[in-house]
């Protein structure tokens, strides 16, 4: 996956808000199909589809942690480790 996809402000804000619907939609726009998202994250493709369609939200810490690991993201980007960068993104996301 292109590193630039993760560096986009809209992607980083969605990650900070735990808005996986937006995260997965942005991934799809960058050519990552739902099956690939499922394989990377350990979710079933049907779960990925439900998240993309807004029928399911992910709030469980363990699932968010697995997503960060599977996608190769720093845990702080999903608010799982508090740092200055995450705090700044969370402030932007809430305004």
DSSP 38: H
Domains in the chain (CATH in brackets) are 3-88 (1.10.260)
Confidence of residue 95 (pLDDT cuts 50, 70, 90): low
In this prediction, residue 37 carries a pLDDT of 96
Query: pTM of the prediction?
Result: 0.80
Task: Please tell me the distance from the alpha carbon of residue 68 to that of residue 2, in angstroms, as a whole number.
Answer: 16
Task: Please tell me the distance from the alpha carbon of residue 49 to that of residue 18, in angstroms, as a whole number.
Answer: 16
Given a cut of 70, is residue 70 above it in pLDDT? yes
Q: Do residues 44 and 4 touch, judged by C-beta distance below 8 A?
A: no
Q: Do residues 45 and 35 touch, judged by C-beta distance below 8 A?
A: yes
**Cβ contacts of residue 15 below 8 Å, gap of 6+?**
23, 73, 77, 78, 89
Per-residue pLDDT tens over the stretch 7-62: 899 999 999 899 999 999 999 999 999 999 999 999 999 999 999 999 998 888 88
For the chain, how are helix, strand and coil distributed in percent, rounded to 5? 70, 0, 30
């Amino acid at each position: 996956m292109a590193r630039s996809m993760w560096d986009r402000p809209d992607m980083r804000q969605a990650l900070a808000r735990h808005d996986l619907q937006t995260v997965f939609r942005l991934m799809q726009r960058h050519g990552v199909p739902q099956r690939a998202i499922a394989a990377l994250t350990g979710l079933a493709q049907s779960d990925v589809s439900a998240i993309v369609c807004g029928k399911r939200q992910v709030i469980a810490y363990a699932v968010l942690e697995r997503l960060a690991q599977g996608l190769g993201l720093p845990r702080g980007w999903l608010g799982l480790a508090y740092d200055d960068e995450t705090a700044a993104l969370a402030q932007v996301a809430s305004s």
